[in-house]
């Protein structure tokens, strides 16, 4: 066992790992705070860096708080749980500020939107099933960690975990989703034959549907989500935001930054952002590559009696081929990878009066903003604490076309 002693933590990296040095070589250490001195065991070594796990705290930070999760040291998912909530927000603010300046020379102020419920907020969890046990894989070691409860998951989801005895499932994965009304949709992937005791399970949870290997096993393959008195059909494998309360804050931000007559919603998913805002557009376009999501978007527009929406099933990079209207407000909510190089060019070619860029990855966001700022002014940056107790952040950046000023 390769043990290193008395490593001083000098700063935190973008994944909230402590940073120290061993013989002038950097070492990344999860669950460590600035100023702490630790003994570690090396779990990975490359030519450029080490990764180590703490085996003993020689000196603890006065800012370290008690962690009330029994799986914290093993799971690694909630990598900020040893920080107070105010310290978590400060870390995220500085992280976003530093990344935007480093990669895009952007030094704008950032407005922080707190999560009023920093526990029991996730409406979706993806669990692994290993020999009948349910849990997560550790972020660093990929060891399986069996759990009975997840502190950041909604209580309705934890009820499903509590009553896992009603599932005959030895190995595979199970995705559990919960909506505004605590109704549950379950998606199971496995190579085995599965049996679920539906009758007993329904006495404990509001079960909407179970899907096994993309085939409906019980009920429906979707549920209905509700925001601002509008309803959204969400398919079992469609993307949707995981934090209900913070998503409502995001809606408010987008709503007050809309202008004009025509909206284009790229990576529109189930059509949520384009339909939920109260601002009235003459036309709403949505582009999404996932077929199930675009079908949901069309159904949602009917459900909400939105007659001026048009949805296109296509890669968002092809949007310019189909949409010839002048775009006033453009919403972009891409995957973590952000916009590909040509996509930035295509976005700029629309010359929308306003862009609202929604991102869960500050580095890809900064890379894209570094190009977009050639013709857009960064008007406002919001940090939304969508993923409390983890190092992840959600951002909304409001931009205005320079020639429109």
Tens-place pLDDT, residues 136-151: 998 767 789 999 999 9
pLDDT-flagged residues of the chain (< 50): none
Could you tell me the residue ranges of all domains in the chain? 3-64, 88-117+243-404, 124-223
CA distances from 195 to 190, 202, 218, 327, 384 (A): 12, 14, 11, 51, 40
Measured from the Cβ of residue 72, the count of other Cβ atoms closer than 10 Å reads 17
Q: Which CATH number fits domain 3-64: 2.40.50.140, 2.40.50.100, 2.60.40.10, 1.10.10.10?
A: 2.40.50.140
Q: How far, in Å, CA of 270 to CA of 276, rounded?
A: 11
Residue 90 in tokens: 């400060």
| pLDDT at residue number 141 | 72
- The answer to whether 160 touches 205, Cβ cutoff 8 Å, is yes
| pLDDT at residue number 75 | 87
Q: How far, in Å, CA of 314 to CA of 26, rounded?
A: 44
Q: Are strands 25-29 and 18-22 parallel, antiparallel or unpaired?
A: antiparallel
| pLDDT at residue number 405 | 63
Q: Which CATH number fits domain 88-117+243-404: 3.40.710.10, 3.40.50.150, 1.10.357.10, 3.40.50.970?
A: 3.40.50.150
Contacts of 394 by beta carbon, 8 Å cutoff, 6+ apart: 246, 250, 358, 359, 360, 383, 384, 385, 386, 387
pLDDT tens for 95-121 read 999 999 999 999 999 999 999 999 999
Residue with tokens 């409860």: 149
């Amino acid at each position: 066992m390769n043990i290193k002693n008395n490593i001083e933590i000098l700063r935190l990296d973008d994944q909230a790992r402590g940073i120290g040095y061993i013989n002038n070589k950097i070492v990344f250490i999860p669950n460590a705070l600035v100023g702490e001195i630790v003994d570690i065991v090396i779990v990975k070594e490359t030519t450029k860096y080490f990764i180590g796990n703490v085996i003993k705290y020689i000196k603890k930070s006065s800012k370290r708080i008690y962690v009330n999760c029994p799986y914290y040291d093993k799971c690694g998912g909630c990598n900020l749980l040893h920080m107070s909530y105010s310290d978590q927000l400060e870390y995220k603010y500085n992280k976003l500020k530093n990344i935007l300046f480093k990669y895009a020379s952007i030094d704008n102020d950032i407005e922080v939107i707190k999560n009023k419920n920093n526990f029991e907020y996730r409406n979706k969890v993806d669990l692994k099933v290993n020999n009948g046990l349910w849990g997560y894989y550790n972020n660093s070691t990929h060891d399986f960690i069996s759990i009975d409860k997840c502190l950041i998951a909604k209580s309705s989801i934890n009820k499903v975990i509590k009553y896992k005895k009603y599932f005959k499932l030895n190995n595979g994965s199970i995705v559990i989703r919960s909506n505004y009304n605590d109704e549950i949709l379950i998606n199971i992937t496995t190579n085995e034959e599965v049996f679920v005791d539906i009758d007993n399970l329904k006495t404990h949870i509001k079960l909407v549907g179970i899907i096994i290997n993309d085939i409906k096993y019980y009920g429906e393959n979707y549920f209905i989500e509700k925001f601002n008195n509008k309803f959204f059909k969400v398919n079992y494998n469609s993307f949707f935001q995981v934090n209900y309360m913070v998503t409502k804050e995001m809606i408010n931000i987008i709503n007050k930054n809309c202008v004009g007559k025509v909206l284009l919603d790229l990576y529109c998913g189930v059509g949520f952002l384009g339909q939920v805002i109260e601002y009235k557009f003459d036309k709403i376009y949505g582009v999404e590559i996932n077929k199930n999501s675009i079908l949901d978007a069309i159904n949602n527009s009917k459900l909400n009696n939105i007659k001026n929406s048009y949805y296109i099933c296509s890669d968002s990079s092809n949007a310019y081929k189909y949409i010839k209207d002048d775009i006033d407000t453009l919403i972009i909510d891409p995957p973590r990878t952000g916009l590909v190089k040509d996509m930035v060019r295509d976005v700029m070619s629309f010359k929308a009066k306003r862009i609202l860029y929604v991102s869960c990855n500050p580095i890809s966001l900064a890379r894209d903003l570094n190009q977009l700022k050639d013709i857009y002014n960064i008007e406002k940056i919001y940090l939304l604490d969508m993923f409390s107790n983890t190092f992840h952040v959600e951002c909304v950046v409001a931009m205005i076309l320079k020639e429109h000023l």
